[in-house]
Amino acid sequence: MDGDLSRWLKKRAPAAGIDNLAPAITISAAARLTGLSDSALRKYESAGLILYHRTPCNVRMLCFEVLERIQLIQHLIKKRGLNLEGILRLWALLPCWEFKKCSPEIFEKCPAFKDSERPCWVLLAEKSGCEGESCRTCEVYRFGAYCTEDLKVLLRSVQSPR
């Protein structure tokens, strides 16, 4: 799995040299760029599909990766016929403990290991992520959404003997 996953991530990682995680635009600017309403983007946030950066004044800011993620969500809705709940459940199948290389002691206690309805970043949001890492910067949140089309391939590689 490790080699397959590394190759898969490298092919789909955002362009190098760009700080894709830096808060760059407001929710209203993102709405204009994506053609969605502010309320639709807030709904994506409340559903757990996207994570915003919040300024000290509590202004929602998005990074460039979130814009790409919004486009992916729109693709899944319009082209694949999924709704928000379906997307969440699909992303909940991601084996985050494999991505993060968690020990059995850690992942057996982790709510994301047992829950197949919500992805790890939704379940662990109250704990501010896992192992002290912010969900916004975690590779499972950042790149996991891109494996939607390849989910069966990834799941088979996780389940195959090592």
We report the CATH number of the domain holding residue 155 as: 1.10.1660.10
- DSSP code of residue 126: G
What is the distance between the alpha carbons of residues 59 and 132, in angstroms, rounded to a whole number?
A: 24
| Res. 41: pLDDT tops 60 | yes
Q: Percentage of the chain surpassing pLDDT 90? A: 26
Token pair listed for 51: 């994570």
The 10s digit of each residue's pLDDT in 63-113 is 888 888 999 999 999 998 999 999 998 888 888 887 778 888 887 888 888
What pLDDT score does 39 carry? 95
61, 24 in Cβ contact below 8 A? yes
Count the domains in the chain. 1
| Res. 16: pLDDT tops 80 | no
What is the distance between the alpha carbons of residues 57 and 67, in angstroms, rounded to a whole number?
A: 22
| Res. 30: pLDDT tops 50 | yes
What pLDDT score does 44 carry? 95
The predicted model scores a pTM of: 0.75
| Res. 10: pLDDT tops 60 | no
Higher pLDDT, 4 or 81: 81
The strand order across the sheet containing 60-62 reads 25-26, 60-62, 53-54
| Res. 17: pLDDT tops 60 | no
Nearest to 64 by CA among 15, 1, 109: 15
Higher pLDDT, 13 or 22: 22
Looking at every residue in the chain, the average pLDDT score rounds to 79
What pLDDT score does 108 carry? 82
Range of the domain at 86: 2-159
**What torsion, rounded to 10 degrees, do the Cα atoms 122, 138, 143, 108 define?**
-60
64, HSE (Cβ side, Cα atoms, 13 Å)? 9
The count of other CB atoms within 10 Å of the CB of residue 98 is 17
What pLDDT score does 46 carry? 92
